[in-house]
Structure 1
Amino acid sequence: MTHETVDIKAWIDDRPVAKYQWLILVLCFFVVLFDGFDVAVMGFVAPSLIQEWGLSRAAFGPVMSAGMVGLAIGALTAGPYADRLGRKKIMLFAVTGFSVLSLACAFARNPYELAALRLLTGVALGAALPNTTTLLAEYLPERNRSLFITLMFTGFNMGSGLGGFVAAWLIPSHGWQSVLLFGGIMPLLLLPFLWLLLLPESARFLAAHNASASQIAKGLNKLGGTFTAATRFVMSEPQVQHKAPVRMLFTEQYRFGTLALWLTYFMGLLVIYLTMGWMPTLLRDGGLSIERAATITGLFQIGGTVGAIVVGWAMDRRNPNAVIATSYALGGAFILLLGAFSLESSLLAVGVIAAGFCMSGAQTGLNAFAPGYYPTDCRATGVSWMLGIGRFGAIFGSLVGGAVLSLGLDLPLLFALLAVPAFIAALAIMGNGRARRRAIGRTVLAQ
């Protein structure tokens, strides 16, 4: 094998999953877990911080929104750099950045300093997620890719939930600063393993950038290869290095699919953030206790964690576009049904679990789908811009919820309005399916 010409993707696709690929999954899982912890942490420390600083909720609003804006900026900027400099390098700088900045947030003296630091922290957090997705995707066989990536993304939900337990444990004895210190120290402990020992650069990225055969062989040999510097590595996919990565997203081959992915992700996050952010208030206004309203809303996230794994499994066995579109459409249908249930009915909890299963499952599935749509030369850019544009859906959802609730609409009508973006997301991803088939057809003709 040492003197053969080897197609990297085909070689990975033809082999069973190796222990080293599982190790890459575990490392990326922990990066995503700490990312999820730091994204959600301000929500858990806000009550203590507001009380200590004597702030109103309105005055603390910029601190919360600064992180969201930073997430969008980080996602939009990280992809093009990763397609030039490498997935591993940008991801490690991002993890280092949000670790150090989280530590710095613990020493903020006023809301202005904290808002500025959270903006910068958000940039680093937004840069980490698309690069873990891209790096993992490029080391996985296509038959398992969706399941593995959705497994990795369950770390985000777990990290977000972990923040609540850590806050309950640390704040009473050590104050709100201790939670931010925890969120900075834990990923710093992971960094030596990522920098020096375990995490490889993408072999497909190295091949696309004409790296030496010995560099590529080093990573692939850990998967069971026996390659040397004499091996010639190739990739049977479009290579368009002469274009800037962002411009490549808007070439004729990818333009429609790019816009469809953006619209789908935007609408999906709009629904999820409206639901998670405002459902407790909606249920409380409907007469439920604060504790029951919070518990029922939490079921949405639990259903979403299970749904992500099931959708990823199904995507590896069926048409991914159809699986994701069906999940969004069913999510919209279950949200619509919530308006028909009595707030005291146990069916409401079942409906929330089902809605979370479908909506979060579809959203995570989209994260697994996007890397396969783009070629190596612009894959990180395609994934990160989808995530970045989608973040504006999250920001819009967080902002518009209060305005909609202030209209005093009946619950059935509110849930009906909430379901509309889910149906739009389903239609958009189906449109992406057509674009993908056209792109594949053009590639075959070109060859």
Structure 2
Amino acid sequence: MTQPAYVDVTAFIDRHRVSRFQLRIVALCFLIVALDGFDTAAIGFIAPAIHVYWALSPAQLAPIFGAGLAGLMAGALVFGPFGDRIGRKRLLMLCVVGFGVASLVSAAAPSPGWLVALRFMTGLGLGGAMPNAITLTSEYCPSARRSFLVTTMFCGFTLGSALGGFVAAALIQDFGWRSVLIAGGCAPLVLALALAAWLPESVRYMVNARRSSDVIARTLARIARDPRLDGASFSIAEAASDAVASDARPRVLHLLNPALLRGTLLLWAAFFMSLLVIYLLSSWLPTLLHASGATMRTAALVTAMFQVGGTIGAIVLGWLMDRLNPKFVLAVSYAAAGVFIAALGYLTATPWLAALMVCGAGFCVSGSQVGANALSAAFYPTECRATGVSVANGVGRIGSVVGAVSGGAMLASGFTMPALFVTIAVPAVIAGVAMAVFGMTVRPSAQLA
């Protein structure tokens, strides 16, 4: 009697070409992340209308911005890790429906206080969805193309941010600021239907959750037909998996397992510093450029180059990460971001040079942050991957809040422009050092096979 085959799902995915089934997963996760970008940008575009509608001062308007960021942080830390318990797809469905409903209810907010509370609720869903979209994409990508596909998927964030501006411009004048929130609520609910129909559960998660071998075989057959799948038993070959699987503590504490601890702390440092720089520049760069003598139009156009550079950087760095040591690619890129940012302080009076430096900074720091998401998904084993990516994003979101609020303090400090931008460059260099140390000290066996 023929013995049943034992199929390692990691090796199975790695040895086959990327299928249309896998590209559909990338596309659906791209749309989830795009909704995050849309929501993050849209609140900035409708803020002037809210300011007029409720006659708010800038100080009263600030909590509306901060509530969404705080919700993203809390969602990543609290809800994101549940993807390791209930499955990536189920958690994504709950989060997408949750932030869609919260956005729709936000459109009916009767007061600024209610809007702040509902923006926080919207952020909770978004914060839980993003790391699980990264995790699910990573788990269906072959290792040779994982970084490129994950970073390409994450470009949905910047494109969604741009879409937020176009939608706001099209709707606000004729239908008011609430219409933008309605659009931002309807889109996730429509997407949830597509996710229910077409998004599969992670095959790695199904193996660990001891789901039916027939279900796993049918899922893998959508990647490639293979006669060995019939009646097979399935496993995952991951070096760090046994140590984590035997740990009975809550999954968030698995990240402090000796096999993962050093890499976890270095990833947290890089995420915190990276998102601090990104949100500081995104929030305050137009004001800083205007203060240095640029017109508002010039300041806006120069700042837009940050997102352009970030989108290009995500794709290029993802391609390089698949071909070179990914930790050192990110280390060099973060360090280069520090150079671009520091140089910007000396070039603010020359718009075209300032735009070039801003584009370079976006390429390096935003592109590296997308790459860091891919690296974190590759570092953690299946049992705690969603938790690891979620907590790293949550720590990074703390950095984003620090960055968003620190610009005002820096402006009030009396720094010269060169000194101010050198100060902003320091966290980017620290992120580069963290990645370099990661590459030199973290054992390769602790990473995803």
Q: TM-score, normalised by structure 2?
A: 0.96
The answer to whether the 8 A contact 2:38-2:184 is kept is yes
User: 1:311-330 to 2 correspondence within 5 Å?
Assistant: 311-330=317-336
User: 1:391-430 to 2 correspondence within 5 Å?
Assistant: 391-430=397-436
User: 1:162-311 to 2 correspondence within 5 Å?
Assistant: 162-195=163-196, 197-226=197-226, 230-237=231-238, 238-239=241-242, 240-243=244-247, 244-311=250-317
Residues 112/7 of structure 1: CA separation in 2 closer, same or farther (3 Å cut):
same
**What residue is the counterpart of 2:143 in the other structure?**
142
1:375 aligns with 2:381: yes
**What residue is the counterpart of 1:433 in the other structure?**
439
Question: Greater shift after overlay, 74-83 or 275-284?
Answer: 74-83
The answer to whether the 8 A contact 2:337-2:364 is kept is yes
CA apart distance, 1:166: 0.7
| CA deviation map 1:26-64 (0-9, x unaligned) | 111111111211122211111001101111111121121
Task: Provide the C-alpha distance between the structure 1 equivalents of 2:335 and 2:296, rounded to a whole number of angstroms.
Answer: 30
Residues 79/242 of structure 1: CA separation in 2 closer, same or farther (3 Å cut):
farther
The answer to whether the 8 A contact 1:286-1:343 is kept is yes
Superposition CA RMSD, Å: 1.7
**What residue is the counterpart of 1:67 in the other structure?**
68
The correspondence for 1:385, drawn from 391, 398, 421, is 391
The answer to whether the 8 A contact 1:253-1:439 is kept is no
User: 1:12-51 to 2 correspondence within 5 Å?
Assistant: 12-51=13-52
The answer to whether the 8 A contact 2:101-2:185 is kept is yes
Q: Which amino acid aligns with 2:23?
A: W
The answer to whether the 8 A contact 2:6-2:235 is kept is yes
Question: Greater shift after overlay, 427-436 or 154-163?
Answer: 427-436
**What residue is the counterpart of 1:351 in the other structure?**
357
Residues 147/228 of structure 1: CA separation in 2 closer, same or farther (3 Å cut):
closer
Task: Provide the C-alpha distance between the structure 2 equivalents of 1:6 and 1:78, rounded to a whole number of angstroms.
Answer: 32
Task: Provide the C-alpha distance between the structure 2 equivalents of 1:136 and 1:75, rounded to a whole number of angstroms.
Answer: 17
User: 1:103-142 to 2 correspondence within 5 Å?
Assistant: 103-142=104-143
Question: Greater shift after overlay, 379-388 or 53-62?
Answer: 53-62
The answer to whether the 8 A contact 1:213-1:228 is kept is no
Residues 2/269 of structure 1: CA separation in 2 closer, same or farther (3 Å cut):
farther
| CA deviation map 1:159-206 (0-9, x unaligned) | 1111111111100000001100111111211211211x2100001001
| CA deviation map 1:283-318 (0-9, x unaligned) | 111111111111101111111100000000000000
Unpaired segments ≥5 residues, structure 2: none
Residues 2/95 of structure 1: CA separation in 2 closer, same or farther (3 Å cut):
farther
1:97 aligns with 2:98: yes
CA apart distance, 1:80: 2.6
Task: Provide the C-alpha distance between the structure 2 equivalents of 1:371 and 1:100, rounded to a whole number of angstroms.
Answer: 29
Residues 61/109 of structure 1: CA separation in 2 closer, same or farther (3 Å cut):
same
CA apart distance, 1:328: 0.2
Q: Which amino acid aligns with 1:113?
A: W
Percent identity, please. Answer: 45
Number of aligned residue pairs: give it.
442
Task: Provide the C-alpha distance between the structure 2 equivalents of 1:125 and 1:438, rounded to a whole number of angstroms.
Answer: 32
CA apart distance, 1:376: 0.3
Task: Provide the C-alpha distance between the structure 2 equivalents of 1:384 and 1:342, rounded to a whole number of angstroms.
Answer: 37
Q: Which amino acid aligns with 2:191?
A: L
The answer to whether the 8 A contact 1:265-1:366 is kept is yes
The answer to whether the 8 A contact 1:340-1:412 is kept is yes
Unpaired segments ≥5 residues, structure 1: none
Residues 186/2 of structure 1: CA separation in 2 closer, same or farther (3 Å cut):
farther
CA apart distance, 1:438: 6.4
CA apart distance, 1:344: 2.6
| CA deviation map 1:73-127 (0-9, x unaligned) | 1001123311111011001100000111110100001011111111111010000
CA apart distance, 1:2: 9.8
Task: Provide the C-alpha distance between the structure 2 equivalents of 1:139 and 1:129, rounded to a whole number of angstroms.
Answer: 16
Q: Which amino acid aligns with 1:175?
A: G
Residues 10/323 of structure 1: CA separation in 2 closer, same or farther (3 Å cut):
same
Q: Which amino acid aligns with 1:156?
A: F
Task: Provide the C-alpha distance between the structure 2 equivalents of 1:188 and 1:202, rounded to a whole number of angstroms.
Answer: 22
The correspondence for 2:347, drawn from 330, 341, 350, is 341
CA apart distance, 1:10: 0.5
Q: TM-score, normalised by structure 1?
A: 0.96
Task: Provide the C-alpha distance between the structure 2 equivalents of 1:6 and 1:320, rounded to a whole number of angstroms.
Answer: 28
Task: Provide the C-alpha distance between the structure 1 equivalents of 2:3 and 2:393, rounded to a whole number of angstroms.
Answer: 40
